[in-house]
Every structure is written in C-alpha cells, then in structure tokens.
A and B are shown apart, each in its own frame.
Chain A
C-alpha cells in the first residue's frame, strides 16, 4: 500500500489527508511537532480571550483520525532525504514514504531587530505562542504594557486579545495608515480610528529599533526608530507578517525560494514530493494572487486539489475568484474580487461610507468597460455565491449596484443600505439606476 506522509497537521495537510481518504485506501501519516490533533489556528485568539477552550478549536473529535485510518505522529522532522525517500526526526527516528507532502505552514517574521529572541518576545501563530502568552500576560498586573510590532491581521488580532484582558497596548505600524498596502485610504483610516477608539496606542509610521532586557534576559522596554523614545513593556509581539516554515529542508535537494518552489500541480522539483499551503511558493503568481498565499482557504483548496493528483487524477491548482475576510476588533471585513489599495490605471473606485457607523464599501470597476472588478465591505456581510457569479459573468458595475440587495448576507431584520449606496452612486456617476428587489430565484439560480 502506498504510504503518503504529510508533514504538518494544519488545514492544508488535514484537508489533503481527508480527501485522499475519501478517494483511496492509501496509508496516510500526518506528522506534527506542534499539537497532537488538528486545531484551527485562526481561533487561538478566542482561547486567550475566554470565548472558547482550546478543545473547541479542534474541528474533529479525537476518534475521527483512527476511524478514518489517518495516523498521527508527534515528531519534529529534522531532515528529508529524497534519494532514499525517508524523513529523519529530531529524536533520531525516521519514517519512509512513497509520497511526501510538505505542509508546514509559516513562522513569524523577524527582521533582525536587536533583542528579537529575548524572553518576553513572541509571535502569535503556534499553539506554543498561545501557551506562552498566557504565562507572560495573564492580566494587566503581570503585564503592564505590551508592544505589538507590525500592522497586519495577526497584529490587530493580538491587540484585540490583549485588550480583552485590559492590558495597555502600544501598536507600532510601519505604514502611515493601518494595512494600507491592502486597504484603500478611506477604509484604512476608518480602521485607524476604530483601533484608537478601543484605547489602543496606535503609532503609525513607527518602526522598532531595538528590544531591551534586564539582566535575566526578560524584556523591559523597546526603543523606537524614529524618535528614539523608550517604552517600558513586559511583552513584545512580533506580527510583521509570516514566512514559510521550511528551514529543515535546507539540507535537502528540494528547490527552495522563500517557500518550497512548486509548479501549478503543486509538485516540487523532486518526484513524489509536493508542497501545499502557506509554505508553498508558486514559480509564477497565479493572476493577481501572490506566489506565496498565507491564507486559510487557499491552504484548504490546495489540499482539495492535490488529493486528486495523488489519487491518479493529476490536476492543476486553479483557484477561482479571489475572496477573503477578516475582523478588525468589532468590524467585519469581507472582500470579493480585487480592489487595490492604490487603484491600477484601469481601475475606478466607488466608496460609500455610513455617516455615523463604521460601515462602508469600496467597489472597483474598469474605467472604460465599467466591468465590476471587486468589492470590499466593512460592517455589511455579502453573499459569496453572488459575487462569485457576477465576477464569472463579468457583470458591469451598474448591474452590481442595481442588484446589490441580492448580495446582502446580513442577519434578518438588519438595517439595509443598498438604497443609500445606489443613491450616492447615481449622484457620483450621473447615472439613473433603480434598486432591484431581492429575488430568491436569482440568488439560488445556479447559472
């Protein structure tokens, strides 16, 4: 029986294992040094915040693995010998494979800051980071101040976590507005204000220079690059993005860039070795996507796709229309299609914001053809199916604005804003569109 060995028990590896099992009887082993069982990495913040217990982050009950004959092995892979098809463990053991899948995910970026490895400096990625934070910052008496370095999605989640225990936070963001490499100006500014409204000390255009410690190597303060100011703190969170977790492959023959280099079939340069998820790097970016996509659902999709290839139906990884979502403290964010922070030369943006609430949308369309390109929504939930369909059908912006009610996914009885949005659109672009009533028939029609 063919032995499939998967390194990493995250969403990519586990999805792959599940789908291989659905399609075949192959022997499957998942190796992880992090936890015994698969858990949802995106949910560890809720454990610290007291919304859930760690066991709630595990999507499958513990009997699931045995029942589906997926073997779980807790071990740290130190080396991969592709000539002999064997993985070496740190504890001296080894395991032979017929096909090997690298699904080891990421690790937090460290940019060579002095003091970046001191006691009290953490990332927020692994289960161990969560455990460590619980020790370092159980409350605001043990941790008087935390400094977060890096204004991305993990940074704001760490801020939300610490804020839930009333720990004072200074949030250092390199850019002059939060996440403005991704979000257009209006949205990014709304999030800046939202962060400040939560009594978080947000420092824009600010870099970390160095982290200082006491004689025991415990963090005591940070020094800022621009001003030289020294901020006393007990915890420093490094959340300046992530990088593929592939150091153990450096001695192997597998081609590496920033991540494990793969082709569109998720195959590496070595036969029978594949890479999926955060650690995989496409030779060439797919569409507007980045060569390395550290996103939950892309890991899942690569797992779904690669299972076909491994079970003798070799198929390319062809992700559909881009979408994503996040939550900035209390504001939900969804995006479908592409809205660029700095509009491309063919791109026009339409921005609507509620006069009082933190609710807004930005829709992008082609300035010549009026083709709808994408939408960002804040505080309004939208229907994935509808936008996916509109993008596939290359609907124009007028259609999207007129039929926006079909796309609304907010809970029942919520106040709706489609008419306001349409009114502003009509005024801005001198159009005379009318709002179409929501139609179940359109919403659920498959073509």
Chain B
C-alpha cells in the first residue's frame, strides 16, 4: 500500500513537471493566413503593427513563448507610441500585449504539443490524476478504522508550513500570476484542453477554460480524499458532493453549453457581489441585447442576491452558499482541506478580518453604485472620479490579486479560507444575515467541553470556537461557513451545527450546565 502511494506520488510529480514546463516549451510559427484572421478578429487597424509582425514574426520559427511574446509586445508598444505621436487614435490597439501574444500564440502553435494534444493531455492532466489517485486511494486501508484522522499533521512538512508547504505556495502563486497577468504563457495549456472545449462550447480553449477545467479536476480528485478522510461523517460527504456538483455543472458545463447555444456565458450560482462585474456596463449591455435569456439572467442575478441568498441564510446559515455551493468554497474545502489548521485564531486576526472584509464590501457597493450611475446617466465619471478606473482597481486588487493570488496561493501558509474570511464581499453580506437574522447556530452541548482546542485548531475561518464552547455558549459568528469540521474533530461530542428557533440562539452564560442549579440561576439571570 505504501509502495502504491509512493509510485503514485512519483507519477503525479512527473505529470506536474510536464505541466509546469509547458509554458516555456513548444514551437510557434505564424503563417500569413492565420495572421489575417487575427487582424480581422481583433479589428486591428494599425499598419505599423501589421507590418512589424509581418516582417519580424510571420513565417519564422519561435521556440517557446518566451522568444515570441517579447517581440509581440515590442511591436505593439512601438505601434501605439507611433500612433499616439501622430494622433491616429483610431489606429491605436487597446488589447493588452499579453492578450495579443496569447491570440497570436494560440494561432501559431504548430509543434509537437499542438499536434499531439491527446498525448500531452495524458502526460500532464492524465498522469497528475492517476498519480494523485494512487496516492490517495490506499488511505482507505492505511488510515485504518473510520474516525478522525489528523495524526501527524503538525509533524509533516507539507501541512506544517515546512519546505513542501512553501513549494506548494510558490507553485500556486506563480500559477495565478501566469493566469491573471501573463496568460500568453498558458497557450500550451489551452492546447491540451482544446478538444474538451470544442466538444462543449464549440470554441477552442482560452486560459480561463484551462482554469475552469483544472478547477473541476483538482476538486474532484481532492474530493476523493475528503470522502476517504471523512467517511464516517455523512455531513462532510454530503457537503463535498454538493460543492462538487455545483462546480462541475453550474460553474463549468452549463456556461459552456450556453455559449454553444448563443447565450451569454453565465454561472447561475455566482451571486453578486462575489460576481463583482455583474452590473458592469458591458455585462448589462450583453444581457439586455441577448433577448429573453439575457433578461432572465438579469432578473435572476438580482433576485439571487436580494431574495434567494438572504432567505436561504435565514433557514440554513451562510453555509448553504459558502460550503455547499460556492466555487471558491469548493476549492477551499477540497484542495484546501489539508491546510485548514493554518488560519490565525488570534483576536488581532479577527480585528483585521472585520476591517478588511467589510472594507471590500463597502468598496464593491461604492463601485457598483458608481457603475450604475454611469450606466443610467451615460457619464464616465462620478464626482470627478472615472468609473472605469475604480472598476480596474477593484478587478486587479480584489478580483485578481486578493481572490486568486492570495486567496488560493496562500493556502499552505495562511489556511484555505483567506479569501472567504478576509476578502469576499458576499461572505460579508451573508455574515450580516447569519449573525442577525438566522436560525443557524453551532450548539454547545452543556458542560461537556474540556477546552482541548481541536475545534479552534481546525476552524478554517479562524474562529476561536473553544472560547465559546468552554463557556457553554452557542457559536453565532458571522464568519462561520458551517463546514462542520469543529463538530467532527471534537472528541467529546460538544458541537452540533443546527437550525433551530431564533429564541435562545445566542445564550451567553457565566456558569455552565451541570453546576448547582441555584448558582446557575443566580449568576446567569443577571
């Protein structure tokens, strides 16, 4: 069994090595016909740029994106500089150089990788999946009898911020940097999943498709790990299945099929303000221009945020979204589960959390108000501030860096819910509902708590669960995503997630159940 695990690890690492090497491999040769298509598709008017590309790139072989990309961005910068000088505004190219390089790279890839997509898929995704499963599946036997399996978490480098943890950190952060800021280097990755993308939407894959496909793959494989680790706990099994279903069906397949049906790309479960660009001008325009389905999406999107979400939170707590449905939560609960213990439980961290997460909520509301004002009054500025500037700042700082690079990249260091805890504006909104108007609570079982601290240690949201449990007090916290792990790891059966009457949900006590009834009456009724 141990041997299977080790072989699996080696296979996984080989797959990972191929995948990691791909961005700098491959040959690219842009032919005239393809370039003409790009000119047409991208509506390029710049003769300077076209001539530059034609003389320096078309017909030549390039090894690796690192040799092609700088030439393209140089050509682009050159052309734009030229047009700016000559005030030829209509010729200026507004596509970002990395996006342009990605377009050109995609059309010009012609080597071994582009011609053997299936084989390359097997060498990367295939080996990764097989290796990971070989590493995970033997745990059915190796973990022994069912029960909580946290042995050695703080002895292992990967889960105790050791060198493996830091390597994972570097890998994840680099991956997100490529994805958000250097997508041309993802060109080879897009080739691997082209067949899948074409089967779904009819279009070749872009880097976001790679991300979506990878997201589903990673979640599925790591969900197998969850099923094995928590096989005694039906709540965990149910929750994992639920997030997996919503990710694969709602976030991945349905939007792709909608594109095939000439409908807007839309994830029906992605609620504003997590879906921060829902009210952006381009989206509103697209939705209002696509007839019935567009209007339906518009109405659904608004109803989701204003009606569905709060009502569901009232009945079930924010867990129905954050740990049963949400994609960010889904990744956190599968890929991120081995790192849940790293969330900071200090009072200081809680203070930072409240400033940050509510700050982001205010930011998104102000931005959206500006956006809508601009949309309806047809101006680009509000009180002298450009709406598009605010939108770009939000997209960059919150949408890309916070949610992606920090949110996922920092899993091995700060735990798996960094984004959900410190940044997600939807979580902040749901948190208000959960804290002030909900039936959900984690009930503390009378006086059974022994203050061992397992609950706090494994709370991914950094809630000091023990602080409440040892006082016999129910846990009613806006940040709780209801993952149920505190209840699972409790060795004394003290915690239970449940939806009950609002009366008595919050129950501060001085003296716990089990002591002298007269004393309890005396002290608790003050």
The residues of A with any CB-CB pair to B shorter than 8 Å are 11, 19, 22, 40, 42-43, 46-47, 49-53, 56-59, 61, 164, 197-198, 296-297, 300-301, 304-305, 308, 315-321, 323, 325-327, 329-330, 332, 334, 381-385, 388, 392, 409-415, 440-441, 443-444, 446
Contacts and interface: CB of A to CB of B under 8 A. Distances in A.
A327 B491 contact: yes
Interface string B141-166: 00011111011111110000000000
Contacts of A11: 451
Contacts of A59: 451, 453, 466-467, 470
Given A49-B150, A50-B155, A444-B501, A323 B448 contact: yes
B452 interface: yes
A319 B235 contact: no
B500 A444 contact: yes
A415 B519 contact: no
B519 A334 contact: no
B515 A320 contact: yes
B504 interface: yes
Interface of B: 144-148, 150-156, 233-235, 238, 346-347, 443, 445-448, 450-454, 456-457, 466-467, 470, 484, 487-489, 491-493, 496-498, 500-501, 503-504, 510-519, 522-523
Given A51-B153, A327-B491, A198 B452 contact: no
15 contacts: A49-B152, A50-B155, A51-B153, A53-B154, A59-B453, A59-B467, A297-B514, A301-B515, A308-B522, A315-B519, A318-B515, A320-B517, A383-B445, A411-B484, A446-B504
B519 A52 contact: no
Contact of A42 (B451, B500, B503, B523): B451
B155 A323 contact: no
Given A51-B454, A61-B347, A327-B492, A412 B235 contact: yes
Nearest to A64: B347
A325 B488 CA distance: 16
A202 B104 CA distance: 70
Contacts of A43: 450-454
A56 B453 contact: yes
Given A323-B514, A412-B498, 5 more contacts: A47-B154, A50-B151, A318-B515, A385-B513, A388-B446
A410 B445 CA distance: 11
A263 to B, nearest CB: 15
B514 A51 contact: no
Given A51-B151, A330-B146, A444-B504, A317 B516 contact: yes
Contact of A296 (B450, B484, B511, B516): B450
Contacts of A52: 154, 453-454, 457
A304 B448 CA distance: 15
Contacts of B513: 320, 384-385, 388
B483 to A, nearest CB: 11
A381 B488 contact: no
Contacts of A50: 150-156
Task: Please give me the 6 A-B residue pairs with the lowest Cβ-Cβ distance, nearest first.
Answer: A384-B446, A330-B147, A381-B493, A43-B452, A318-B516, A50-B152
B452 A411 contact: no
Contacts of B151: 49-51, 164
A40 B500 contact: no
B5 to A, nearest CB: 15
A305 to B, nearest CB: 6
Contacts of B518: 315, 318
Contacts of A164: 151-152
Nearest to A296: B450
A384 B492 CA distance: 12
Contact of B234 (A384, A414, A440): A414
A45 to B, nearest CB: 9
Contacts of B510: 19, 22, 304
Nearest to B503: A444
A312 to B, nearest CB: 13
Contact of B238 (A198, A321, A413): A413
Contacts of B517: 318, 320, 392
Contacts of A198: 144-145
A34 B406 CA distance: 40
Given A381-B496, A412-B235, A440 B516 contact: no
B166 to A, nearest CB: 18
B447 A384 contact: yes
A443 B499 CA distance: 12
Nearest to B233: A411
A108 B160 CA distance: 32
Contacts of A323: 446-448, 514
Contacts of A321: 514
Nearest to B147: A330
Nearest to B492: A325
B497 A412 contact: yes
B353 to A, nearest CB: 16
A198 B151 CA distance: 14
